[in-house]
Structure 1
Amino acid sequence: MKSLRRKAWSTGAGWLCAAVVAAGGAASARESTPSKAGASSGRAFTAATVVERARALAARPYEAPKRTLPEAYARMSYDAYRDIRYRNDKAFWRADGLPFQAQFFHPGFLYPEPVVIHVVAGGRAEPVRFSPDLYTYGSLVPAPPLEKADGFAGLRLTHPLNRPDHFDEVLSFLGASYFRALGKGNVYGLSARGLAIDTALPRPEEFPSFRELWLERPAPGADRVVVHALLDSPSVSGAYRFTVIPGANTVMEVEATLFARKAVEQLGVAPLTSMYLFGENDRGAYDDFRPEVHDSDGLFVWNGDGEQLWRPLKNPRHLSVSSFRAKAPRAFGLLQRDTAFTSYEDLEARYELRPSAWVEPVGDWGTGAVRLVEIPTPEEIHDNIVAFWVPDAPLKPGTPMRVAYRLHWGSQAPWPASGASVTATREAAGSAAGARRFVLDFSRPATAGDGPVEAVITASKGQVLRTTVRRHEPSGGWRATFELVPDGQQPTELRAYLKRGSETLTETWSYLWTP
């Protein structure tokens, strides 16, 4: 399975949006004027409108989106696409003094399929029409300005996130059903998707797309904005409602209703996609001045029974798929826990500023598994990490599935820690031939407590020897070490946590060791 191309969103903290952001606002002053988009114009719209559209789509045979872009735009290079620049004075709602502004990505490059975009005000939806007047076209663009298009490539939203006098980007939808957001002080890193279908199965993955977007006009002084999306694919259609609340952690409240055209073998709910090239536990053979290169360094799973689990990520030699069974999960996410610049030393990518993303289920998700897919990659331009929830209950034609969750984007956990967390995983040669030594650092515990601390280490194969625990004086936490004597060349699942008497002090460290 090939690693996932980063949708041209990669390489550097500013990525494409700093230069390429496509059309914001409206095709004319008429469309951006509130009085012209009131209840007397457009079509009636509610959240149920999108649900009924999705239901109707699922009842019909799938139709792939039509690609009507001229060849020069459909096959343009990354640099040429970057040379199409959005005109800041055309940002939607810029002249209205609202707390959010909208801009729309130009179609082309990796995004030839049109996304129809509407703006909703007063319960009516008006389409936003494409116009070349919204852009400047630089010398690298291999064709005259595009005179017409059936839609856009996606949208982004800006808001005074980091300071009150500047509109920062907080959210973008671009490519298939991909979207991503930023908390205060973050730069873009990992992404989310509307849905993952048959990821890492022995056949091509199906990538649903957001075919239409509806953007609700926010009220003056509002702290949130709402986006609706219509998803479609050969197997599934769906209606999504995203309530976006920017802040230190930007929160997205997601409600989705899914309809199947046919039975889906593996449905991935709330998928997250990230990049991991190398890190402290898995440096590989990279001859690089940087100590670590990744958008996320681990998977976090909080089970319904209260156990919290941390799985450090790896760049494996072969495709790796891990499942973590859960009942009524409380949360899972791909996190960038290491936020020290000295861990990366990259002045351009600024990996220490990449956000973490937590998925917080709303309601009882029942039984299923958090699935982690790690794909080999030789370069940091590929997204090679995917995590999602696979429910035991199947999605079948005729029975809609409704799911709700919150996405938290930022650098701080959205809830207080119930125990100390894993802050570092290191692996080295052990004291005997073939043995491996592991060094695990844990954060400062919430309470000091009295009595000795013990490390509980288990291995699915092989022997665990020379376990030690000592205070990590520089951080106030703890350091646990042990050695694994492998059982030949067999992969080994390792687990570790710290306890004092009957009290569990830390989350559970989970690691797949491979020879």
Structure 2
Amino acid sequence: MSHPKRYLVSLTLLINILTVPIPLFCAVQEEVGLAFVNHKAEGLALRPFEDPRGSVPKLLMELSYDQWRDIRFRPEKALWKEEKLPFSLQFFHLGMFYDRAVQINIVDKGKAVQFPFSTDLFDYGQNQIDLKKLPPNLGFAGFRIHFPINRPGYDDEVAVFLGASYFRAVAKNQQYGLSARGMAIDTASPTGEEFPWFKEFWLVKPTSRSSSLIVYALLDSPSCTGAYKFTITPGEETQMDVTCNIFKRKDMNKIGIAPSTSMFFYGETENGRPGDFRPEVHDSDGLLMETNGGKWIWRPLANPSRLLISRYKDVDVKGFGLMQRDLNFDHYLDLEARYEKRPSLWITPQNDWGEGHVELVEIPSDSEINDNIVAYWVPEPNGKLSFAYSMKWLTPHMDKDKPARAAHTRLVTEKEEGVYRFIIDFEGKELNAIPAETGLASDITVEGDAFLIERQLLKNPATTGWRLSFKIAVPVEKLKSIVPDRKPIVKLTAFLKKGENIPEPLTEIWTYDFRP
């Protein structure tokens, strides 16, 4: 029989063992990956949205744009710089209109550690900021990624994640232009647009041989949450492979997948602008789309007199994007902006997207500082909420496997009231090789309060391409009866084909929404 004291001691030891946390189990952390972020997003969607705005100190929010820009990250403190890894990262300070702190986590061998904010990371320039008044856990506004794409040994800035769910990137020999977003909600809707934001990031530490950087992101919004994985590969074309899973908090009227945001002030269609020496001013000049049926649609951009929304329906669209196809410096003449160096962005679905439409939103703008162009995919209501796609930031060159381009679009208002002439130059290697005596034909469609009155198709000896010129007429009584700024839209399409009885396009399908 055991001694009573020994029994009490054993019982006490057993109780202590059962009540003290065992480090082996408590230290276990779920490996960070898309499943991990999915779990966080799904759990977050079950809770009410908490708006973090107002948590950034007032002294930072009162900074002007120039003052905020004067706060610079110290390059020598860039993440992974001392380890001489292929990628290095720098971070943005909160302030001005960056009013929501972003949590940054570094993932190494599957485990995440939060990257702490410190005022020692920044040079505050000429700003007279009492750094003691900044909370030690302030957080960051965003980050930028550096990688040598233009010359060995120099870390170029290749991508930025900053503000709401915005991010942008460049390829080799490019300058920043259009931006992308994680998601768009109710863009150009009467109820007003909702702007989701990336509240937390996980940056996966690369190896010494890595050519890609993996970034996970947690999206939050009053209507939904989202889990994102970005695999970013900079180079001649900078590619981002994206997987996103959306979790609803409530029903949404319209969501935009893979949204791009750009600027179009004026272009060749307007034939310049009085008072400006530059022939064109834009970050993108058109929307390009490849349908599931293999047809290519080109829509030149416009700066409309009032909001204009264009929709292009499809099932499992093959690709779309806002493009900057005019790469001629003489067409811009801007030594500072260098618009000919702005990237195009091409979206290619990597899974079935189902029914929906590509939506183009054009917003009136009186300045080149405004991003007034948005394009995205709108899935059918109650459709899928998981998407995979690639994003290529690139310089668009004419490819052999694509049809001839609608390279230039110009509009002329004729002296006769209500008559307008469109001139479209089609160019492509195979099309240019077709001699003038070949019987090419054109297909032109006019929808709305207008009708076709004249057309002409000619070989262009200067470019060796083909020029299509046509006139439309809007009945004068229609023009006079229209309320100012409420003019109806005339929808135009045009393409070239090998003969009158051949329906298949030989070129891109040029389309334009025209308000007389």
TM, length-normalised to structure 1: 0.88
Which of the numbers 76, 79, 87 marks the counterpart of 1:89?
Answer: 76
**Residues 1:304 and 2:287 aligned together:** no
Q: Distance in 2 between matches of 1:422 and 1:141?
A: 54
> 1:19 maps to which residue?
none
**Residues 1:368 and 2:369 aligned together:** no
> 1:415 offset after TM fit, Å?
6.6
413-422 or 245-254, which deviates more: 413-422
Alignment deviations for residues 236-264 of structure 1 (CA, whole Å, 9 cap, x no partner): 10000000011111000000011001011
CA contact (8 A) 1:79 1:140 kept: no
> 2:483 maps to which residue?
none
> 2:220 maps to which residue?
232
> 1:204 offset after TM fit, Å?
1.6
**Residues 1:180 and 2:168 aligned together:** yes
**Residues 1:467 and 2:467 aligned together:** no
> 1:498 maps to which residue?
496
Q: Distance in 2 between matches of 1:152 and 1:108?
A: 9
CA contact (8 A) 1:227 1:242 kept: yes
384-393 or 225-234, which deviates more: 384-393
> 1:65 maps to which residue?
52
CA contact (8 A) 1:244 1:252 kept: yes
Q: CA RMSD in A?
A: 1.9
> 1:141 offset after TM fit, Å?
4.9
Q: Distance in 1 between matches of 2:350 and 2:44?
A: 26
> 1:475 offset after TM fit, Å?
2.4
Which of the numbers 409, 426, 437 marks the counterpart of 2:410?
Answer: 426
> 1:429 offset after TM fit, Å?
2.5
Q: Where do 1:333-348 residues align within 5 Å?
A: 333-348=321-336
490-499 or 464-473, which deviates more: 464-473
> 1:417 offset after TM fit, Å?
4.0
Letter of the aligned partner of 1:496 in structure 2?
A
Q: Distance in 1 between matches of 2:128 and 2:288?
A: 43
Which of the numbers 466, 483, 495 marks the counterpart of 1:478?
Answer: 466
SS at match of 2:454: strand
CA contact (8 A) 1:81 1:141 kept: no
Q: Distance in 1 between matches of 2:366 and 2:57?
A: 33
Alignment deviations for residues 121-154 of structure 1 (CA, whole Å, 9 cap, x no partner): 1110011000111111111455547463431001
Q: Distance in 2 between matches of 1:427 and 1:172?
A: 37
Q: Distance in 1 between matches of 2:38 and 2:184?
A: 19
CA contact (8 A) 1:444 1:478 kept: no
CA contact (8 A) 2:272 2:280 kept: no
> 1:420 offset after TM fit, Å?
0.2
**Residues 1:438 and 2:422 aligned together:** yes
> 1:124 maps to which residue?
111
Q: Distance in 1 between matches of 2:264 and 2:226?
A: 30
Alignment deviations for residues 410-443 of structure 1 (CA, whole Å, 9 cap, x no partner): 1125975421011111001336432111110111
> 1:106 maps to which residue?
93
Extract unaligned runs of 5+ from structure 2. 1-26, 480-487
**Residues 1:133 and 2:120 aligned together:** yes
SS at match of 1:373: strand
Alignment deviations for residues 349-376 of structure 1 (CA, whole Å, 9 cap, x no partner): 1111000001111121111011111111
SS at match of 1:390: strand
Q: Distance in 1 between matches of 2:128 and 2:269?
A: 43
Which of the numbers 379, 389, 398 marks the counterpart of 1:405?
Answer: 389
SS at match of 1:446: helix
Extract unaligned runs of 5+ from structure 1. 1-39
136-145 or 100-109, which deviates more: 136-145
Letter of the aligned partner of 1:424 in structure 2?
H
SS at match of 1:363: coil
> 2:193 maps to which residue?
205
1:413–1:64 distance in 2 versus 1, CA, 3 Å: farther
Letter of the aligned partner of 1:338 in structure 2?
D
> 1:465 offset after TM fit, Å?
2.6
> 2:33 maps to which residue?
46
Q: Distance in 2 between matches of 1:228 and 1:250?
A: 18
Q: Distance in 1 between matches of 2:97 and 2:111?
A: 32
> 1:46 offset after TM fit, Å?
2.4
> 1:446 offset after TM fit, Å?
2.7
1:286–1:228 distance in 2 versus 1, CA, 3 Å: farther
Q: Distance in 1 between matches of 2:392 and 2:180?
A: 11
Q: Distance in 1 between matches of 2:285 and 2:325?
A: 7
CA contact (8 A) 1:183 1:248 kept: yes
Which of the numbers 312, 315, 318 marks the counterpart of 2:306?
Answer: 318
**Residues 1:279 and 2:267 aligned together:** yes
> 1:42 offset after TM fit, Å?
7.6
SS at match of 1:95: coil
> 1:330 maps to which residue?
318
Q: Where do 1:12-23 residues align within 5 Å?
A: none
Letter of the aligned partner of 2:44 in structure 1?
L
Alignment deviations for residues 202-237 of structure 1 (CA, whole Å, 9 cap, x no partner): 022100000000100111121111000000000010
CA contact (8 A) 1:41 1:126 kept: no
Which of the numbers 247, 256, 263 marks the counterpart of 1:268?
Answer: 256
Q: Distance in 1 between matches of 2:238 and 2:182?
A: 17
Q: Distance in 1 between matches of 2:513 and 2:130?
A: 51
CA contact (8 A) 2:400 2:429 kept: no
Q: Distance in 2 between matches of 1:84 and 1:310?
A: 42
CA contact (8 A) 2:324 2:343 kept: yes
> 1:191 maps to which residue?
179
Q: Distance in 2 between matches of 1:143 and 1:184?
A: 40
Q: Distance in 2 between matches of 1:193 and 1:325?
A: 21
Which of the numbers 77, 83, 95 marks the counterpart of 2:64?
Answer: 77
> 1:10 maps to which residue?
none
Q: Distance in 1 between matches of 2:128 and 2:294?
A: 54
Q: Distance in 2 between matches of 1:351 and 1:260?
A: 39
SS at match of 2:430: coil
> 1:72 offset after TM fit, Å?
1.2
441-450 or 464-473, which deviates more: 441-450
SS at match of 1:133: helix
> 1:286 offset after TM fit, Å?
4.7
Greater radius of gyration (CA): 2
Q: Distance in 1 between matches of 2:277 and 2:458?
A: 31
CA contact (8 A) 1:435 1:485 kept: yes
CA contact (8 A) 2:53 2:99 kept: no
